[in-house]
């Protein structure tokens, strides 16, 4: 996944701090109202293998597989666990109240598992996003 960003700071450890505009909050067309111009800016820490400098507009790349896996863990896993919890409790012929409680308990377990997966992935690669090119150079 490619996004445009602006470098705000270069760190001594070779990483760069960038500001990315998150699209989708109001459809991405902020030229019309300009109300949320600064509310949808997101700061991020990225690898800087090409040595881009502060103030430059750059393209950053986040591995698509990581985004998909993260979305699956955060959104799909708890829902699957919720349904599985209910079905298992229903298969054991438990009361409706117990089935609902089991479903919510399983959903909470799904959220906890998603958090563990996220922490494990972050520990393995805390900054998977990297700068891949400079869009315009400072003169």
pLDDT of residue 86: 97
Closest C-alpha to 64, from 134, 133, 123, 129: 129
Please state which of the ranges 28-32, 44-48, 73-77, 94-98 shows the lowest mean pLDDT.
28-32
Average pLDDT, the chain: 84
Instruction: Kindly report, residue by residue over 114-139, the tens digit of the pLDDT.
Output: 999 888 887 877 777 888 888 865 55
Residue 40 has pLDDT above 80, yes or no: no
Please state which of the ranges 105-109, 110-114, 135-139 shows the lowest mean pLDDT.
135-139
DSSP state of 126: S
Rounded CA gap, 108 and 82, in Å?
Answer: 8
Rounded CA gap, 97 and 81, in Å?
Answer: 17
- The phi and psi torsions of 40 (rounded to 5 degrees) equal -110, 25
pTM for this prediction:
0.61
pLDDT of residue 23: 61
pLDDT of residue 87: 97
How many percent of the chain have pLDDT more than 90?
Answer: 32
């Amino acid at each position: 996944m490619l996004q445009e960003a602006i470098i705000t700071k270069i760190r001594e450890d070779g990483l760069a701090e960038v500001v990315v505009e998150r699209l989708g909050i109001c459809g991405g067309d902020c030229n019309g109202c300009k109300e949320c111009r600064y509310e949808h800016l997101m700061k991020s820490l990225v690898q800087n293998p090409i040595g881009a400098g502060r103030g430059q507009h750059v393209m950053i790349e986040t591995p698509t597989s990581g985004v998909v896996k993260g979305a699956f863990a955060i959104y799909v896993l708890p829902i699957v666990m919720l349904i599985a919890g209910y079905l298992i409790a229903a298969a054991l012929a438990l009361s409706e109240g117990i089935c609902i409680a089991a479903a919510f308990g399983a959903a909470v377990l799904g959220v906890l598992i998603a958090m563990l997966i996220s922490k494990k992935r972050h520990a393995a690669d805390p900054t998977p996003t990297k700068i891949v090119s400079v869009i315009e150079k400072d003169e």
